[in-house]
Structure 1
Amino acid sequence: MAPQVFRTQSLIVHSHHALSLLCAILVFLSSNTMVFTSAQASNRSESDRQALLCFKSGISVDPLSALESWRNDSLDFCSWSGVFCSIALPVRVVVIQIRSARLTGTLSRCIAGLSSLEQMDLGYNGLSGSVPEEIGELGSLRTLDLAGNKFAGNIPLSLGASASLSYVNLADNSLSGVIPHSLSNSSSLSVIMLSWNNLSGVIPANLLMSSKLSYVDLQWNALSGAIPHFQKMDALKYLCLEGNLLSGNIPASLGNVSSLRSLMLGQNMLSGNIPAEIDNLVSLTELDMGQNMLSGQIPLTVWNLSNLFVLKLSMNRLSGKIPSTVSNLAQLGMFYLDDNELSGNIPANIGKFKRLLMLNLSVNRLDGFIPRELFSIPTLSLGLDLSNNNLTGRIPQEVGNLINLGLLNVSNNKLIGGLPFELGWCVQLLSLQMENNMLSGQIPQSLSALKVMQQIDLSENNLTGQVSQFFGNFSSLNYINISYNKFDGPVPTGGIFGNSTAVFLQGNTGLCETAAAIFGLPICPATSATKRKINAPLLLIITALITIASVIFVVVTIMKGPRTQPPEDFKETMKRVSYGDILKATNWFSLVNRISLSHTASVYIGRFESETDLVAIKVFHLSKQGSRTSFSTECEVLKNTRHRNLVQAITLCSTIDFEGDEFKAIAYEFMANGSLDMWIHPRVHGGSPRRLLSLGQRIRIAADVASALDYMHNHLTPPLIHCDLKPGNVLLDYDMTSRIGDFGSAQFLSSGIGGPAGLVGVGGTIGYIAPEYGMGCKISTDYDVYSFGVLLLEMLTAIRPTDALCGDALSLHKYVNLAFPDRIAEVLDPHMPSEEDQMAASERMQKYVIPLVGIGLMCTMESPNDRPGMHDVCARIVAIKEAVAL
């Protein structure tokens, strides 16, 4: 028994030793595996750190010290500014976000070392060179935003090969070449933004066939060829191809994109018919096909797009009639069919529109009577333009229903009868143009109510009687043309009739003057029986001689040649126009076209030949001190800036006029809704505004202005200071988008651009100038921050900083601060309406109003050190805007 027991125990002992040995081996292997894995993770993290340092090495200028924390002796790269890492191990870089930091340099290929990168946002810096091909090889990259830099060269082919990339924004660079076909084959892209580059060639055939695409913006390049065909898509909502060289027909397959909300094809060379299949775009709210060569009739299917707010088909070759089904466009706000070949009558049921702000049917072949129903549109406020047609009959008395109408133009038709008595009910009318018709009778006394009128043209009609004395009482009137009628009797002597250059009376042989003959008319006799008559034949002979002499002088002057040229940068980027072009666009600098006047310049509304859009033309008074500096500054600002909330220039003119004198002008986009000042202070501008600004609109305007200032201060190198920010320099587009204008006083922080940096000169307006500049402080971004704060408080209270309410050393800041926050409702604009779906007043006050007022008070702190920067201000207001929109 003993030996057996011994053998059993021996086996147990040997088994125990074997098990121990096995455990030891497993522990050893496990330990080595952990060491290996840890080392591998560490290597990957270090690889990311080195890639970031390599990226930094390509940056030559970092004025805001955005990369200050990116140091070689710092191992914790996840704490570096603009770097975001994953939570899971191993730690990897997943996001780089260094936006608007004014970085200068190149984008290093080392970025390819960040193999886990998901988002890269380097938008609105000053990076140059090419976009590295290696970016498309980042297997996890979903978002790429390099907009607003100076990248040149081609778009990397690799971007289309990425299986993860869904968002690509390369807008506002200097990229050239073609759109790579690889982008067409991408199965992941949903947003493509390539606008404002120098891309050429055709749009790849498959680019617009991806089922995932939702947003495509290719505007303002040099793309040519045809628009590709579309397959059935249900994701694409925004397609903008305007401002290119596209030709050929609009494909019928466009009807496959039923999800489209905005379709902009304007300013190309498209021809052929508008496809009938367009009625499949049932969600469309904006359709712009203006300024092309489209022909044929407008398909009936267009009138089925019941959600349209903007319909722009101007300046084409469209023919046929406007059908009665036009009334289906119940949501229409902006309606442009001008400069076509449309014929027939204006349909009566066009009066069913309930949201229409602007109607332009000018320069067509329309005939028949003006329908009475047209004057029953309650919202028609921006303008009604029926000029240059073949309309007949009388002006309906229902015109008096348009009490908010700003512009009425029925000139160059065949209208008869007298001016309606009811026209005097249009008390908001600023411009009345009825020239070149067959109107007769006397001017009704009711027109004396049109006290805000600025421009009147009744020339070339058969109007009789005396010139109404009340025209001399219109304080805003700056142009009146009643020439070539049959008026008689004395010319009024008050108001505008004291300025012979603003009044046109020729061709009325019965007129006379009661005082000094400033118009060259006979002095009125003591009695009507001894009235003197003008020697009409002699007048015609003298006029002809003067005309011949003027023509000879102009020809001689033109032969002298120009003496000045536009800045070189503008030669390359902007279309040149001549003095004659400016002359024609402004109707020979007609006062009827002048919309504002300052010491250094006059601004006219006009339209260039072969163009469809109105422009604002700023003509500089070169004989006045400061005007040349103002012109140079505005040119420099325009050359160095581009932002949706800054007024954009169309073109400029720097030449000599027909008298051999130097001439300078800049043409800007025309802002249909005027200035913010007109909306906040309507009484100063002749009455109540056409629409009241709601809180939501004021917030959106504030966000737009803040965004523009953030761009000027933080996205430009060197920073740009406006130096005269006020409601009068904030302009509103047709959709109430805000744009800052008038950069004549602006300064860049470094010398050499826009005049020397330093003390504020003549720029600025009392009430908006930061207090430290009265003590000799140098210009800084704090100047605009203070002005913005005043503007924000003014917009919310409708109180000017110079109002008596803020007098006796009590600034607008102090006035509002006394009521903040508990009694803030007492100082708010009493005319500010609530949004239709707004919350209760107390909740609205706490969530939106008080925070906005708080921002305004912070911006207007007396010490510049206590004011926030525009980047923070913009972020706060945008957050409020987004909360209101929820």
Structure 2
Amino acid sequence: MSFKAPFSYILLFRTSFLLLPTSHLFATATNALRNDTDQIALITFKDKMVIDSFGALRSWNNSIHFCQWPGISCSTRHERVTALDLSGQGLVGTMPPFIGNLTFLTFLQLINLQDNRLQGTIPQDLFRLEFVKLTNNSLEGDIPANLSHCSELRALDLKRNALTGRIPAEISSLTKLAELNLSLNYLTGEIPPLGNLSALTRIFASYTSLQGSIPCSFSRMSRLTLIAIGANKLSGKIPSSLFNLSSLATFSIAANQFEGILPPDIGITLPNLFQFGVAGNKFSGPIPSSFSNVSGLVLLDFPDNFSGQVPSSLGNLKSLQWLNIGGNHFGNGGANDLDFIDALVNCTSLERLGMYNQFAGVLPNSFVNLTGLIELDLGDNQISGSISAGVGNLISLYTLRMSRNRLTGSIPTSIGKLRKIQKLLLDGNQLTGRIPATLGNITQLAELHLANNSLEGDIPSTLGDYQYLQLLDLSQNNLNGSIPAKFIGLSSLSMYLGLSRSSLTGSLPFQVGNLKNLGRLDVLMNKLFGKLPATFGDCSSLEYLYLQDNFFHGTIPSSLVALKGLQDLDLSNNNFSGTVPEYLASFQFLRRLNISINDLAGEVPTKGVFRNASAVSLFGNIKLCTEIDELQLPKCASKNPAKHQKSLAFTILIPIIGTLGLLHLVYVLVFYRRKKAKSISPSSSSREDQYNKVSYKDLFRATDGFTSANLIGSCSFGRVFKGKIPHHDKTVAIKVFDLHERGASKSFAVECEALKNIRHRNLHKIITCCSSMDFERKEFKALVFEFMPNGSLEKWLHPKADEEIQPRSLNLIQRLKIAINVASAMNYLHHECHVPIIHRDLKPSNVLLDVDMIAHVGDFGLAKLLLKTKEFPPNQNSSARIKGSIGYTAPEYGIGKKASIHGDAYSYGILLLELFTGKTPTDEVFKDGWNLHDFARTALPERVMEIVDPLLLSQEISPKDGSDNTKKSSQKRENIQECIILVLNIGVACSRISPGERMKMDDITRVLHLIRDKILGAQHQD
């Protein structure tokens, strides 16, 4: 089409030759040829697009003049293209090099191709350009230095691409440039001197990899109103002259390595500040009280290293909408930590307040006067006292988070007045009393977290009135009564319904079938009974179903065949009878099945999940049989009559032999009973007497004689079995010490001493102990712990081929929560115990996961108490054996340094790096001084996605994203990348060589909570 056009113009010239003057004819011909070249350029652009999602280029043809094509603007006089604006049209293709190489589009002043998926490089040599907007594409290569030839350029927007290299210093010659946006690229090097950009008002360069400091020349840009250079590797002190740039309105430098103290007069020298964000740096000192002079200040974001008291003068900021002071060192743990809240009441525009900071004391009643708040985060502090009834005044709230404090008393009924609340988080406190029925008045609620309290009584039926509730967690309380039918039938629930670990009774109402959108249901560890309702088959979205440790009976209903998406099903420790349903073998996504400790009978299916013996738990069903040896069940009876009679004979003889053996054991136990009591060490028993000890016989029976079928792992100085002991109706883990191994007896004593007075939700809870004699009069020592159904973190990160449970992969949120759980446990040991404890053997195999994938730190056999006592003097000259495990041990231990909390921080850092990279510190790639710390440090941040555990990426980033949701997928990938960069930076900071440079566990815990909340917030928006 474009090659035929010149012939039509020749014909035009011939027919018009006698009618027009020669000069007019020449001008017409010239314009026609120029117009034709513009059309050729545009058609070439169209040909480079492989996808035109919204048909923007569909009418780019000869049927109409190209100046009328969508996205094209032309000059009136010459009919030349002056603007190419195709933003947000879903175009996929390559940026044609002709745009920069040909002079066809010499009149072009605007290129706006943002929000597409264009590849290639940035156009060059378009000298008339005034606006270049290429945001949110996939452009690669360097920023061309010859953009400096575009002397008319006023806006250069290259945000969210894949550009590399340095920021060219030649840009400083663009004296008319008013806006420069280079954020979310892969740029390196330093920020060049840009002082000549006298017209520049806004500069964006966040989320790149820029290094160095802020050039002093910034202060010469007198019109500058916005600086946004967060999430880089910038360091040093902020040039003092920059704080004299009175035009500055937005100053955002978060997530860098800047240091120093903010000038005390900052609120006077920067009177026009609108937003001020410096989180994630190394600033220190107090918040300058002069901020109170900036009357137009809307946002203040101060997380990380500030200290002192929060100035009450912040109450003068009438325009303040967002105040985040979380994650600092404010307060002193005293009763007056929160007095500044009285002054904040004057901030009548305040909408968001973040205070996760380990503040102590009672929350002032004045907080109920912050009636303009839409988000209030008081979580992760040490706030005590009760929740004021005046909380009902905060009627504008959308989010109220008071999780993980020390709040007591009941939940006030007035909280039901908060009709706009969408997220209510009160979990992890010490709240008592009943769940107020008025909670049902909050009709907009999407998430309700009340877990880990001491709430009691019935579940109010009014909780069944919710229409938008997606997540409800009432787990680990003292609730009783039956489950209301209306409540269990909340059809809006899609994320999670948690009712575990209470004392709920009755049967599951048939209305459970209304949970058609629910992904996970937990009712484990209650007192529920009856048959499972057939309507369970209507819960078609269920992926995780946990009904274990109840009293359900009857057959496993055939209606469950409809739950094709199940990944984890646990029906263990109930009274189910009948056969194992054959349809379970057809569930292609089922990766874990636990139907142990029931009364099931018959032959076990041989296909599907049953082929993987490590994924199926069937023990405690003595009537089951199988042809699969790995399932460790009796062989099914042969159909041959002779063989059947032989099998029957064995069936009769085995109980007789077993009875005789049992009588013999009883005789031995009675005979040696007195001697057994005398043989126990007085020093040991004094440390162990707080537990209701069990006997060797109890543990022998609980583990079927310590058989390999009940062996679940090994640990330092022994092996671990699972079993059920008398008077304890739950499965337990029994750690049996190998007393032939040197140091085992000492390890037993150390662990008893360390565990006897510590209690934390993320520590492996000890139930009892045993220090006795076995049947052969040999010394026997064991500790009994809570059973962790999901095993160790080691098995999830590095499963062995013969025990792999598919999919043994942890998603991003699970890994973050595990990291937080472990950090919380270590922070408790270091800073909150009556006697600080050093673990000294922190590694993935000593991190255990319960049924909810909550992490618990265990194995205190190498622990050291920092306080010496007469009863238990710690040995400072310990042998190398008890200093930890290779790869996780702090390097200073190797040169004889004493154990310290810094050593645990090092181990935690290595564990954190391993959790997100999937690499062990002893991987074969680490040699010649190269280690996991260096592996992560040198990849940050440019190559971070190259070192992330591939299983994590496969969980989070789907390869099936279509063209219509690529923007969303790209945003998700960037959120994930940002999160992982922050986490790995913590791991690197913890595993530094110098002990004094490592992060402390309380700081780690706060930062990880911030990262988790950030990624959860992004997912919620998606």
TM-score norm. by structure 2 comes to 0.54
User: What is the alpha-carbon distance in structure 2 between the residues aligned to residue 679 and residue 291 of structure 1?
Assistant: 29
2:523 aligned partner: 336
Aligned to 2:597, what secondary structure does the other structure show?
Answer: coil
- Displacement of 1:636 after TM fit? 8.3
2:586 aligned partner: 401
Aligned letter for 1:187?
Answer: T
**Correspondent of 1:686 among 803, 806, 810:** 803
- Displacement of 1:395 after TM fit? 2.0
User: What is the alpha-carbon distance in structure 1 between the residues aligned to residue 382 and residue 983 of structure 2?
Assistant: 40
Please say if residues 250 and 275 of structure 1, whose CA atoms lie closer than 8 Å, have aligned partners that are also in contact: no
Residues 81-114 of structure 1 show CA distances to partners (whole Å, capped at 9, x for unaligned) of 454656442789999999999x9xxx99x99999
User: What is the alpha-carbon distance in structure 1 between the residues aligned to residue 919 and residue 793 of structure 2?
Assistant: 13
- Displacement of 1:237 after TM fit? 1.0
Residues 729-762 of structure 1 show CA distances to partners (whole Å, capped at 9, x for unaligned) of 4555666666665454466899999753899653
Q: 1:755-794 alignment to 2 at 5 Å?
A: 756=876, 761-768=881-888
- Displacement of 1:136 after TM fit? 10
Q: 1:317-716 alignment to 2 at 5 Å?
A: 317-323=504-510, 325-326=512-513, 328-347=515-534, 349-350=536-537, 352-364=539-551, 366-374=552-560, 377=563, 380-389=566-575, 391-401=576-586, 404-413=590-599, 415-422=600-607, 425-429=610-614, 432-435=617-620, 439=623, 443-445=625-627, 447-448=628-629, 450=630, 508-511=651-654, 563-565=685-687, 577-580=691-694, 588=702, 591=706, 594-603=711-720, 624-627=741-744, 630=747, 647-651=762-766, 653=768, 665=783, 667=785, 673-684=790-801, 686-687=803-804, 689-693=806-810, 696=812, 700=816
Please say if residues 564 and 656 of structure 1, whose CA atoms lie closer than 8 Å, have aligned partners that are also in contact: no
The two structures, once aligned, show a CA RMSD in angstroms of 6.6
1:4 aligned partner: none
1:206 aligned partner: 390
Indicate how the Cα distance of structure 1 residues 407 and 636 shifts in structure 2: closer, same or farther if over 3 A, else same: farther
Indicate how the Cα distance of structure 1 residues 589 and 325 shifts in structure 2: closer, same or farther if over 3 A, else same: closer
Residues 615-669 of structure 1 show CA distances to partners (whole Å, capped at 9, x for unaligned) of 766566677544466567668888999999xx3244565785698989674746x
Aligned length: 717
Please say if residues 747 and 756 of structure 1, whose CA atoms lie closer than 8 Å, have aligned partners that are also in contact: no
2:268 aligned partner: 89
- Displacement of 1:256 after TM fit? 1.7
- Displacement of 1:771 after TM fit? 6.8
1:187 aligned partner: 371
Please say if residues 675 and 731 of structure 1, whose CA atoms lie closer than 8 Å, have aligned partners that are also in contact: yes
Indicate how the Cα distance of structure 1 residues 378 and 673 shifts in structure 2: closer, same or farther if over 3 A, else same: farther
Aligned to 1:579, what secondary structure does the other structure show?
Answer: coil
Q: 1:858-877 alignment to 2 at 5 Å?
A: 864=993, 869-870=998-999
Residues 258-316 of structure 1 show CA distances to partners (whole Å, capped at 9, x for unaligned) of 23413214542421343234341523324224442331342234322433433222332
Aligned letter for 2:585?
Answer: G
Could you tell which deviates more after superposition, 247-256 or 733-742?
733-742
- Displacement of 1:684 after TM fit? 4.4
Unaligned runs of 5+ in 1: 1-68, 70-75, 467-484, 490-507, 512-532, 568-575
Indicate how the Cα distance of structure 1 residues 579 and 154 shifts in structure 2: closer, same or farther if over 3 A, else same: farther
Whether 1:251 and 2:437 are equivalent positions in the alignment is: yes
Please say if residues 378 and 401 of structure 2, whose CA atoms lie closer than 8 Å, have aligned partners that are also in contact: yes
Aligned letter for 2:371?
Answer: S
1:528 aligned partner: none
- Displacement of 1:427 after TM fit? 0.6
Aligned to 1:304, what secondary structure does the other structure show?
Answer: coil
2:402 aligned partner: 217
Please say if residues 622 and 628 of structure 1, whose CA atoms lie closer than 8 Å, have aligned partners that are also in contact: yes
TM-score norm. by structure 1 comes to 0.61
User: What is the alpha-carbon distance in structure 2 between the residues aligned to residue 665 and residue 705 of structure 1?
Assistant: 23
Indicate how the Cα distance of structure 1 residues 114 and 749 shifts in structure 2: closer, same or farther if over 3 A, else same: farther
Aligned to 1:399, what secondary structure does the other structure show?
Answer: helix
Aligned letter for 2:505?
Answer: L
Indicate how the Cα distance of structure 1 residues 691 and 762 shifts in structure 2: closer, same or farther if over 3 A, else same: closer
1:473 aligned partner: none
Please say if residues 339 and 612 of structure 1, whose CA atoms lie closer than 8 Å, have aligned partners that are also in contact: no
Residues 126-177 of structure 1 show CA distances to partners (whole Å, capped at 9, x for unaligned) of 99xxx99x969965595565889873558867745741486474775774xx
User: What is the alpha-carbon distance in structure 1 between the residues aligned to residue 917 and residue 851 of structure 2?
Assistant: 24
Indicate how the Cα distance of structure 1 residues 376 and 626 shifts in structure 2: closer, same or farther if over 3 A, else same: farther
Indicate how the Cα distance of structure 1 residues 309 and 757 shifts in structure 2: closer, same or farther if over 3 A, else same: farther
Unaligned runs of 5+ in 2: 1-236, 238-243, 245-257, 640-645
Could you tell which deviates more after superposition, 809-818 or 282-291?
809-818
Indicate how the Cα distance of structure 1 residues 258 and 640 shifts in structure 2: closer, same or farther if over 3 A, else same: farther
Aligned to 1:687, what secondary structure does the other structure show?
Answer: coil
2:11 aligned partner: none
User: What is the alpha-carbon distance in structure 2 between the residues aligned to residue 685 and residue 352 of structure 1?
Assistant: 33
Could you tell which deviates more after superposition, 89-98 or 719-728?
89-98
Indicate how the Cα distance of structure 1 residues 791 and 719 shifts in structure 2: closer, same or farther if over 3 A, else same: same
Aligned to 2:497, what secondary structure does the other structure show?
Answer: strand
Please say if residues 764 and 858 of structure 2, whose CA atoms lie closer than 8 Å, have aligned partners that are also in contact: no
Please say if residues 99 and 125 of structure 1, whose CA atoms lie closer than 8 Å, have aligned partners that are also in contact: no
Please say if residues 407 and 430 of structure 2, whose CA atoms lie closer than 8 Å, have aligned partners that are also in contact: yes
Aligned letter for 1:395?
Answer: V
Whether 1:288 and 2:431 are equivalent positions in the alignment is: no
User: What is the alpha-carbon distance in structure 2 between the residues aligned to residue 421 and residue 113 of structure 1?
Assistant: 74
Residues 445-473 of structure 1 show CA distances to partners (whole Å, capped at 9, x for unaligned) of 2x12x3xx6xx678xxx97679xxxxxxx
**Correspondent of 1:151 among 306, 311, 333:** 333
Please say if residues 464 and 489 of structure 2, whose CA atoms lie closer than 8 Å, have aligned partners that are also in contact: no
User: What is the alpha-carbon distance in structure 2 between the residues aligned to residue 535 and residue 615 of structure 1?
Assistant: 28
Q: 1:807-818 alignment to 2 at 5 Å?
A: none
Structure with larger RCO (C-alpha < 8 A, sep 6+): 1
Aligned to 1:206, what secondary structure does the other structure show?
Answer: helix
- Displacement of 1:231 after TM fit? 1.0
- Displacement of 1:692 after TM fit? 3.6
Aligned letter for 1:216?
Answer: R
